[in-house]
A and B are shown apart, each in its own frame.
Chain A
Amino acid sequence: AQSVTQLDSHVSVSEGTPVLLRCNYSSSYSPSLFWYVQHPNKGLQLLLKYTSAATLVKGINGFEAEFKKSETSFHLTKPSAHMSDAAEYFCVVSDPYGGSQGNLIFGKGTKLSVKP
């Protein structure tokens, strides 16, 4: 069965320092992987997605993620955090051959805090 594990529930960084949000997945096939961001009291917005093209995926607002099949990871990074990056981030896996209802599994989220 497919699953997503976000390794940190909360990450705190200082403004201007790098961001690393970790995500591991398990899937029975080559999955599609996403990162969504949710700002307080808002809906989710797509940051980036991997769908079996380039393994390094660039998203909006300077974020990027690298698909590593051997490590079953899809970590999200940004070279320099900005105060506006403070939000909750969700790693999501979609496995069309997973067989479960809906086939879209959300991680439990990582809350990113950015200190001035």
Chain B
Amino acid sequence: NAGVTQTPKFRVLKTGQSMTLLCAQDMNHEYMYWYRQDPGMGLRLIHYSVGEGTTAKGEVPDGYNVSRLKKQNFLLGLESAAPSQTSVYFCASSYSGFTDTQYFGPGTRLTVL
């Protein structure tokens, strides 16, 4: 039982490049989330999903897209990376809604030059 895994762990991009972050969970959770963590800011919700085939915007969705084609996977895409997207990205999942315990992945450290 791996819990929540994220790929890759580190990535460096140039401005304007694109990339996809992959999150996978093996707990059969309905809800999945993408957060970004910046120094002194706590975590901010980018997008989330309440089930396979659904996505919704969080607090800071601009510049990101997501897809949930399979229940166990939640992909975060950056179409044209900007230096402001330099951050640590965390994926999380929960069995039911926001009041349920969220299980976090180890994070992806992204640097955009």
Contact = CB atoms under 8 A, between A and B. Distances in A.
A44 B98 contact: no
Interface in A31-81: 32, 41-46, 49, 51
A44 B102 CA distance: 9
A102 interface: yes
A58 to B, nearest CB: 15
A105 to B, nearest CB: 8
Contacts of A96: 97-99
Interface in A60-113: 90, 94, 96, 100-104, 106-109
Given A96-B97, A106-B42, A101 B59 contact: yes
Interface residues of B, number: 23
Contact of B4 (A32, A43, A102, A104): A43
Given A44-B90, A44-B104, A94 B99 contact: yes
How many chain A residues sit at the interface, stated as a range, is: 20 to 34
B45 A102 contact: yes
Interface of B: 4, 40-45, 48, 56-59, 90, 92, 97-99, 101-102, 104-107
Interface of A: 9, 32, 41-46, 49, 51, 90, 94, 96, 100-104, 106-109
